[in-house]
Structure formats: C-alpha cells, structure tokens
Chains A and B, each alone.
Chain A
C-alpha cells in the first residue's frame, strides 16, 4: 500500500518544465483514445507543480478520470484530496480524504493527509479567531469614541 500512493513530500516536489512538457505532449499525442495511465501521469504532473493554474488543471483532469473510470475511483479519491488540499479547498479535501479512509482505514498516506488538513484547519480557525478578536476591539473602541 505504501508503494501505491505518493507521500506528501512527493506531492510537493515539482517536475521540471521540460518533463511536464513531455507528459503534456504524450497526452495530446494519444488524442481521442488516450489511456488512463497517460491522463493520470499528466494530471499528477500538473498537480505537483507550484503554479496554481496548473494545479487547478490537474484537479480538473483527475475529476474527469474519477468520473469516467469507475475502477480507479478509490485511488482518485486520494489524489483529489491532495489536489484540493494544495489548492486550499480544505473542505473538499477533507471530504475526499474521509471517504478514502472509510474504504481503507489503514492507509498511511491518507492518515498523513488528514493530519495536514486538520492542521490547516486549526491554523485557519486560529487566524480567523484573532481577526475577529481584533475586529471587535476596533469596533468597540470606535463606538466608545462616539
């Protein structure tokens, strides 16, 4: 199982431009009858990149694979979770990840991803909390002045 899914570090490592270009060329070359492996390769390459635009493209491609190939759906859950996580859609990422954990409760990478998502969630909550606190302080001070 550990071999079947990438680690979080791998998800952050970026492919070089030329490598991504190779994947893209292969994807286009196969045209209408593109194999699922090629699609995945390209989508995964896109998700790994630092560019947000490319990440979104990758997620869109993966969703296509999810929809069209029922056999691969379980794997795609993980990649979709990763992709959404990188994009910042923590909600969706969590949903996909939870769904994957339902099927495979012993999955390493899924647990690791869940941890990361929750951390982000906490950070987000904390920041919102401070923003709210600061906001109320400012408001009360304004009102007091008035």
Chain B
C-alpha cells in the first residue's frame, strides 16, 4: 500500500518533458508493468495513461515487484530500494586502476560459447586428420596444427587474465585486512587507556569515600590501606628535622649529597649553586658559571654535574674543596651553624626569622677552581640528568634526550622524543595546560637501558645501543616529574598526584600511591619510598605498607634525597632541611 502512495506523489511531480520521453519508451517497449528501476515517474505516467483504475495497475506492479524481489533474493542480490540514475551518478567515480577490465575477465572465464563448439569441431577434424594423414595433403595437417597452436595460445592468455583477476581480488582483501587490523590495535589501546583512567577514578572515589567517612567518624585512628591512599591524620610520625640550611633566596630546585657526613650541593632559583659541608653544617661556597638557574644536579664522591636553564651542562670537581675553604674565605657564616639545630617538630621560632634575613647579607665564597668542563648542545632547558662513570644522559625541553661521553665532552647520541611520542596516541588535554612542566621529568640509566619519564605521562624504556624506545609504560594522567628504578621496580611520580610502582620485567603496575598534591620528587630503596609532594615529606614504608610524613617546610617540597641515614629535602620556602630517619 505504501508503494501506491509514493506513486501518486511522484506522478504529480513529473514534468512534461519527462512524460514525453517516457511515454514513447513505454509505448514502444514491450508493454509490461515490470518494475523498471530508475524511472519511477515513467510508471506513474503509465498508470495515468492507461486510464485504468490506478490502484489495480499499482497492485499488479506491487505483485510483480515482490515477485522480482523474491527472484532477486534467490539469486542473492541485496537490492532494497531502487535508486535513480542521478543519485548513482552523483557518487564519486575514481580513476580506473590499470587492471584487467571486467569484460576481459568475462571473456577469460567464458570464452564463449562459440569457441567451445569450434573446439569440438576441431577435435573431430583432428581425428579425421590423423586418420587420413597419409591421404590428405600435408597442408591440411599444417593448417590444423597452426590453428591448434592458436587455440593453445588463446587458452594461455585466458588463464593469464583469470590469474590477474584473482590476484587483484586477493590484493583488495589484503588491504582491507590491514586496515581492519590497524583499527583493532587502535581500539585495543584506547580500551586499555580507558581502563587505566577507570582505575584512577576508582581510586579517587575511594579517597573521597574515606575522607567523608573519617570526617563523620571524628578521631578514630585507622591504618592506612595499602593501595590507593592517603596518609591521613593517623600515624603522625613527624620526623625530626635535625637542621635547616638557610641561604638560598629562591626556590630550591634540586640537591644531592654524597654521604651522611660529606658534602651537600643545592641549587636554587636565585641562580646560585651552593656547596655545604654536612659535618660542620657550613656553607663552603657558591659555584659560579651557569648563566641561569640550575634545574638538576647529581653528585658522586667528587664529581658534580649540573644541568641548567641556560641549555648547558657543567661538570665540577669538588675534591679539593676543603682546602679552598680554609685558604680563601674569611666570611663567617653564622646563620648556618648556630641556630636551628634543635628543632624537634620542625616548628619555626622567631629567631629563625632573624637568621634568615642575616644570612642573605652574608658574603659567600666563590669557588672558582672547581669547574672542569661544559657540555653544550641542547637547545632548551636541561631539566634532568643522570651520570655514571663516563656516561651522562640528559633530558631537555628541546624535546630530546642526549647521551654524552664525559671524557671527551661530546654528545654521542640524541634521542628524539617527539618522534617516539608521535607514534603513540598519548597526547591528551593536560598537555596543553602543562606549559611550565619539564618535557622530560626524570631519567635514569644502567649500562644500556635507559628509563625516561616525560610530559605525556608515559615512561619509556630505551636501548642506548640503538637509540630506540622499545617499551612504553602508560598510566600516569599527568606529566611525569620524577623517576627511579632498581633491579625489580620502576617508581615514578607525576603531577597527577600519584606515585606508581611498576614491575620492571612485566611492565605491569604493582601499586599506586595516591597523594593530595602533585608529586615533585622521590627516591626509594628496598625498604621505603620518600616522596616530596605538598608541604610535607611523605614516607611510605614498603615492608609494613604504612604511610607517615614529616612536616617542616612552609611551602611545597621540590626535591628530596637520602643517603644512608640522612634525609635532605629542599622546598619552595628556600630552605634545605635535614631529617633523621
């Protein structure tokens, strides 16, 4: 019945020109009421023309149409609605590839019907020919052989075209398989990312639930639960701040020490790098040379390497330090030694304020003889570095990681991060907001294995022999700011307020520690993880899975380091604090 209605409408809409040509075609083609695809208007005029009861004609048409459809269904054609020529022509018609045409393929598969018959005749003739070979003249044999040769050649050509046809179909199928596989991997990756996000959300949800619960329950002490957590008010284990170093005028960006009674080197945004003696708590002096803030440094027994915002890396030799100190500086450094030795719970007293102001006026020695070499090559801030023996790896905001040979001072390998990141779809919304974050938050290497944490939240493992990244651990939802690994685990901290512990061999996440503030720095050993995030130092005991924290800093903690029994932290309050474990 629906078909009937459409007819009437289309009939009304037909133009005079249409009706003229279609009338002629209808009148002079075998007069049937067949469903002629592509010319609905023709049928409409036919119903009008015939003058017979339109619905009768239409119903006949309907019957034939369904019969046709059934016939088509039998033959397997999937034709639901007839399409007009204009509609078809409006579709894109691409350039025909240089392949066997359909007709050639047709001829190859069915070379006709005529040549088959000819073949039979040929067979008979051949038989005759052979039987009468002695009597017929040799020309006949020759011509029959010639024609047979032609036939075989044609057969050959036919087979060739058949092969090409099938080959092209196979190629088409292979191409579509490839696209489907690519789609599959893409979606699989997306799925894994979403599950990660889901886990994180579940964690934060757990946090919020706990917070709500604890608020409603008041002061009940509870144990910190292992996964997902918040150190909370329980376990108030404030560590003792043994000493505070004043002297810097700006945020302490990084620090390192080489022994509980050795030297401590700290760098700050006031563009100075200071060396302190941990046995006397005195400032031994300042290291000149860098033109901008030092963002990262590492200290071994006597060698110090610093990376700075002026795009260079400098190496220093601190072996002769104590001598320099004695021979040169007359300046007393009252601030460091006298005060602040007895802070039990890290609270400031008024005297501290005085010291601080006095220290800024003190005269600090400039240690000129320590500088050994400068490594330049980066075109952006050097944000993190790690060295061992003669090999140094540095990451920079110019989106590369470079490997240097400390003996020659040359860069031996550059790894392009953009390229490595471009192959995975880990670009997310946070990247546009993270303008002030370091591109490479942390790195560490051991022999030929390098591990890097970058702004896209991914941790990549590289092989330094090939310079290629062979594995990516995805999971952080914010730029990675700090990273360390040992034989079994990789521990990374990020702006997304979590610390993740990964199993080094499988790459699976073992634990996620959730905090309230972005994690800026961490260090771990087999028994504990020290995390610098927010204003207090967070200690996570890996054995008992307990959290504790040390208060003392009045502003965010930027960097933490420990060595044996001594823990040092530097913060945005420009102080460097020593803690006992």
Contact = CB atoms under 8 A, between A and B. Distances in A.
Give the bracket for the number of chain A residues in contact with chain B: 35 or more
A141 interface: no
Given A37-B109, A77-B93, A96-B85, A64 B38 contact: no
A91 B24 contact: no
Contact of B88 (A37, A45, A67): A67
Interface residues of B, number: 53
Interface string B85-107: 11011011111110101111110
Contacts of B83: 63, 67
B52 interface: no
A27 B169 contact: no
Interface string A1-42: 001111000000001100100011001100100111100111
Contact of B110 (A3, A41, A52, A64): A41
Interface string B60-102: 0000000010011001111100010110110111111101011
Nearest to B26: A88
B242 interface: no
A52 B169 CA distance: 31
Contacts of A37: 102, 105-106, 109, 165-166, 169
Nearest to B38: A92
Contacts of B105: 37, 40-41
A56 B88 contact: no
Interface stretch (B28-36, B250-258, B563-571): B28-36
Interface stretch (B15-23, B295-303, B384-392): B15-23
A21 B468 CA distance: 61
A53 B102 contact: no
Given A6-B103, A75-B96, A19 B75 contact: no
A90 B20 CA distance: 12
A61 B97 contact: no
A31 B78 CA distance: 12
A52 B30 contact: yes
Contact of A91 (B27, B78, B85): B85
A75 B102 contact: yes
Contact of B37 (A45, A53, A63, A127): A63
A84 B218 CA distance: 86
Given A56-B36, A89-B25, A125-B24, A96 B89 contact: yes
A108 interface: no
Nearest to A128: B24
Contacts of B79: 60, 63-64
B113 interface: yes
Contacts of A127: 24, 27-28
A89 B38 contact: yes
A96 B86 CA distance: 9
B39 interface: yes
Contacts of B78: 64
A24 B75 contact: yes
11 contacts: A6-B103, A35-B166, A35-B169, A56-B34, A57-B71, A57-B72, A57-B75, A59-B38, A90-B25, A95-B85, A96-B89
Interface of A: 3-6, 15-16, 19, 23-24, 27-28, 31, 34-37, 40-42, 44-45, 52-53, 56-57, 59-61, 63-64, 66-67, 70-77, 79-80, 84, 87-92, 95-96, 99, 103, 121, 123-125, 127-128
Interface of B: 18, 20-30, 32, 34-39, 42, 68, 71-72, 75-79, 83, 85-86, 88-89, 91-97, 99, 101-106, 109-110, 113, 165-166, 169
